[in-house]
Amino acid sequence: MSSPRRYTLKLSCPDRVGIVATVSSFVAAHNGWITEANHHADAGAGRFFLRQELLADSLPFDIDELRHRFAPIAEEFGMEWSIADSARKKRVVIMVSKQEHCLYDLLARWQSGELNIDIPCVISNHETFRGLVEWHGIPFHYVPVTPETKSASYARVMELFEAAEGDVMVLARYMQILSPQMCEKYPGQIINIHHSFLPSFVGAKPYHQAFDRGVKLIGATCHFVTSELDQGPIIEQDVIRIDHSDQPEDLVRYGKDIEKAVLARGLRFHLEDRVITHGNKTVVFR
């Protein structure tokens, strides 16, 4: 049985008295039914964050009219805001290199309906997974990346993302550093899984870095991509305990399980409009 259609309002604004009352009164005035409500006040930043889910059928107008009627309130409170429609599946473009585990996991969750998304294409800098992706009926695009062709390659990736009408780009162990132009063009639309518990061990071979440091916990981090390597706002993280007997290859093996789970959770939070970014931090309403 499918879930009823919902509109999800999320916003952030300077904190002040009356925000929740005004938003809730607006919804109630139109007989709107709030099925989930979350809010958070960041006293240090003086910022307020809110997320509400509304039953679409409880309102007497469509989403465009809802946005139009809410706009004056947003302007009054200086809100950064959006309203999403659960009836519209998000379009997720996956990027991958030669590590298969995150790609396999996302395809399995998509195929089973656990992730209610469309995957218009997969983009890779290797041909390794063409057969797998095309077997699933998904277009596969091979875009090689070399030091000499990076600019043209990422221009092609952006072209493919636009043609696919992508909402979000997921780097499922895509082992290339994106161009600053891409990061700036799609803020909050590119999600990466990094195989360490950031901010520790940024860059290449973090499990080997962790082994050399002798840590007792390793982890994975799902974060938004910015032009600063592995420094974007963090969406989700998890860790697993290791000990002195584990070798780097053991850490890599353990880490794959964490990476899959963390990426899936972080992506789900984003797809369900549960993530609000402010500066280099996020508020995640679980």
pLDDT per residue over 160-174, tens digit each?
Answer: 999 999 999 999 999
**What are the φ and ψ backbone dihedral angles of 241, each rounded to 5 degrees?**
-85, 140
Q: Is the peptide bond before 206 cis (omega within 30 degrees of 0)?
A: no
Distances (CA, A) of 200 to 1, 91, 152, 154, 203: 43, 31, 32, 28, 10
Q: Is it the case that residue 103 has pLDDT exceeding 60?
A: yes
Amino acid at 136: H
pLDDT score for 241: 94
Q: Is it the case that residue 190 has pLDDT exceeding 60?
A: yes
3-state secondary structure of 127: coil
Does pTM surpass 0.75?
Answer: yes
Q: Name the average pLDDT for the chain.
A: 95
**Highest-scoring range by mean pLDDT, 1-5, 14-18, 210-214:** 14-18
Mean pLDDT of 4-15: 97
Question: What are 10's two structure tokens?
Answer: 């999320």
Percent of the chain residues topping a pLDDT of 70: 99
Q: Which of 228, 225, 220 is nearest to 195 (CA)?
A: 220
pLDDT score for 156: 97
Grade residue 275 by pLDDT with cuts at 50, 70 and 90: very high
Domains contained in the chain, CATH given: 6-85 (3.30.70.260), 90-284 (3.40.50.170)
Grade residue 248 by pLDDT with cuts at 50, 70 and 90: confident
pLDDT score for 197: 81
Nearby residues of 41 by Cβ (< 8 Å), 6 or more positions away: 15, 47, 48, 49
pLDDT score for 228: 87
Nearby residues of 51 by Cβ (< 8 Å), 6 or more positions away: 8, 9, 10, 11, 36, 37, 38, 39, 273, 274, 276, 285
Q: Tell me if 130 sits within 8 A of 142, measured CB to CB.
A: yes
Supply the residues annotated as catalytic: 230
Q: Tell me if 79 sits within 8 A of 107, measured CB to CB.
A: no
